[in-house]
Structure 1
């Protein structure tokens, strides 16, 4: 992790009392809108440290959130509350605690769905958006693949074994990721504890995918995207993504005239936000925002 940027861990109570965690990268005297980073389904606030490093150097405060059941937020006793509506209320509680009423949002996967929904619910909140490998239509094949691994981990005793497992299982979709980036990503995904490797999220999250079957129809998010479409958007797509199709990205661009696409070569769902070309593209987009 970066040693040049000290993030402050903050904890608050969710509307229902559960303890939530977020990282606050302060930027004293910042005159630009803050950047709010929302992770994917089973991801954490730690995914955004390189983005945060660049953004703070450019004069922005950065917040990165742990949803309930992920990262350093408490697990919920009822997995049914790992729900978009409940998480949206949690996000708004964090923003209220941080004193943020307008921001640029970066959402990876599920975080991008939250960004669209927040834009509809709070039109003045989302001033610009970076969507990392997510669109209003989520591809069924990708969801089935995600269902196959969320909450599941074979017995591992060392982080090096977790790195090897990630490289073996994801290599076909992430041929462009370096060995160093795999190690960084593994440290953001797993934790070594009492001689074994554990997930950094509640395994009960897998129940949120119980309805994902080959026969199922899935909700589309074109209506909330329409609210976001008025804002500047950087739409990042992994070259081998099975969640965001080229056709959906093209339709997003047709409906959102201020959308700028960016493809990450040699990465799938979702790009890790660790490679310099993608970080530079994000920095350039942020430079154009207030």
Structure 2
């Protein structure tokens, strides 16, 4: 598989500047741009298989959201929230200089895309929301909160892969090769007084604002997200894992009837969230994006 190019863009936060990394596939001069943004504890290399399939049609850009992957960590952990993520993406879009673009976002990356697409004058033309919507189920947040920021140190990639599978079974069936490909970019090599090993790629403090959410804050966030969804004018596809505990069938149905009146597609035998690695899942995204004249 062709390797992507690693680039960086300077972004402004409350504590000063930070660098956001992004992985770029395809012709850097291609005016057709696709931005792919990952979930809460993931990173941009999650989209390698999808990007490889689409890089002949698009310049595909897969950022590591701040605090993840090759991007800088923030000095203030409460900065790991939607306003900073959206601001960083707007900076990235300015760097890309695309008049219009398409967006694929998994979980948190879908919410970021929804917020960007809702902005007046947004360049987002087509939006794919992967297993996420304006209503996020509390039990899913509890499940995610049980492991985010708490991963142990690993002696080997295989040990890390086994641990990550234990907290990611909702991703659905994968071959060992596919799972190892998803695992390797999730790790950082360490060599310190404890010896050599691997730790997760992200700042564990991304969990701080996540755990600070109260029921009242969650209700207000849900109200605002529905407002933003209703403001989206992009052609929209919502993907759902049939066993998802984060995006319910009722929320998916509502998303087809209001705002951009999204097209819906449900993947069987998958929970939260489809990884868009299998040919069947890639084909659904590819067909939607390339169907637009």
TM > 0.5: yes
* 1:160 corresponds to which of 158, 170, 182: 158
Change over 3 Å in CA distance of 1:24–1:77 after alignment to 2: same
Map 1:160-239 onto structure 2 (within 5 A): 160-171=158-169, 173-194=170-191, 195-212=196-213, 217-218=218-219, 219-220=221-222, 221-228=225-232, 230-239=233-242
CA shift at 1:66, angstroms? Answer: 1.3
SS state at 1:40 partner: coil
**Cα distance per residue 1:123-169 (max 9 Å; x no partner):** 33111101011001111100111111101112321010111223334
Kept in 2: contact 1:48–1:64 (CA 8 A): yes
SS state at 1:273 partner: coil
Instruction: Return 5+ residue gaps in structure 1 as ranges.
Output: none
Question: How many residue pairs end up in the alignment?
Answer: 283
CA shift at 1:278, angstroms? Answer: 0.4
CA shift at 1:192, angstroms? Answer: 3.5
RMSD: 2.0
* 2:253 corresponds to which of 226, 250, 253: 250
Distance 1:215 1:90 in 2: 27
SS state at 2:36 partner: strand
1:144 — aligned with what? Answer: 142
Distance 2:117 2:64 in 1: 20
**Cα distance per residue 1:199-234 (max 9 Å; x no partner):** 111001110212246787432111110122x32211
Map 1:105-124 onto structure 2 (within 5 A): 105-124=103-122
Higher mean displacement: 249-258 or 157-166: 249-258
Distance 2:291 2:180 in 1: 32
2:45 — aligned with what? Answer: 46
Higher mean displacement: 91-100 or 129-138: 91-100
Distance 1:213 1:187 in 2: 34
Kept in 2: contact 1:128–1:233 (CA 8 A): yes
Distance 2:11 2:260 in 1: 36
Kept in 2: contact 1:144–1:213 (CA 8 A): no
**Cα distance per residue 1:224-281 (max 9 Å; x no partner):** 10122x3221111112211101110011011156522122222221211111100011
Kept in 1: contact 2:235–2:262 (CA 8 A): yes
Change over 3 Å in CA distance of 1:18–1:287 after alignment to 2: same
Higher mean displacement: 62-71 or 159-168: 159-168
Distance 1:105 1:8 in 2: 19
Change over 3 Å in CA distance of 1:196–1:215 after alignment to 2: farther
Instruction: Return 5+ residue gaps in structure 2 as ranges.
Output: none
Distance 1:243 1:12 in 2: 31
Distance 1:76 1:257 in 2: 34
SS state at 2:48 partner: helix
Change over 3 Å in CA distance of 1:163–1:137 after alignment to 2: same
Distance 2:211 2:120 in 1: 30
